[in-house]
Amino acid sequence: MLRKTVSVDFTSVAASVGVGGLAGFVIGYAIKKILKIVVVIVGLFLGALVWLANQGVITIHWDKIGSTSTSALVGLQNATIGAAAAPGAADHVMMALANIGIPLTGSFAAAFAFGFMKG
């Protein structure tokens, strides 16, 4: 029985995992912090609008706001679906995984989730 030996360079794998993990954690943490700030600002803005409407200073047409936000969300959904269903997208993803390396992308994804949870 012949066995074929495979040589693996563990230093490059470790470097890919380390860089991907560190970058993923930092980006996930930062995105969570930025989202918290944006949510607070939007909440304060909407709260101020409701208060001004209750004081009679402004009039808010909630039906127009609802229809505008619905159309914006539908447009965003269509853009996302259109980007995912682009012809040849799977080939580009596979090429990126092959070039970047599965250890890098895997450690990035795991660390991104961890950083987002801790943020």
Q: Is residue 82 pLDDT above 70, yes or no?
A: no
In a domain, 4, yes or no: no
14-18, 26-30, 59-63, 92-96: which is most confident: 26-30
In a domain, 12, yes or no: no
In a domain, 14, yes or no: no
Q: How many domains is the chain partitioned into structurally?
A: 1
Spatial distance between the Cα atoms of 1 and 40, rounded to a whole number of angstroms:
66
In a domain, 8, yes or no: no
In a domain, 53, yes or no: yes
User: Residue 43 sits in which domain range?
Assistant: 19-63+70-118
Global confidence as pTM: 0.62
pLDDT at 43 (0 to 100): 95
Amino acid at 34: I
Spatial distance between the Cα atoms of 32 and 117, rounded to a whole number of angstroms:
8
Please report which confidence band the pLDDT of residue 35 belongs to, taking 50, 70 and 90 as the band edges.
very high
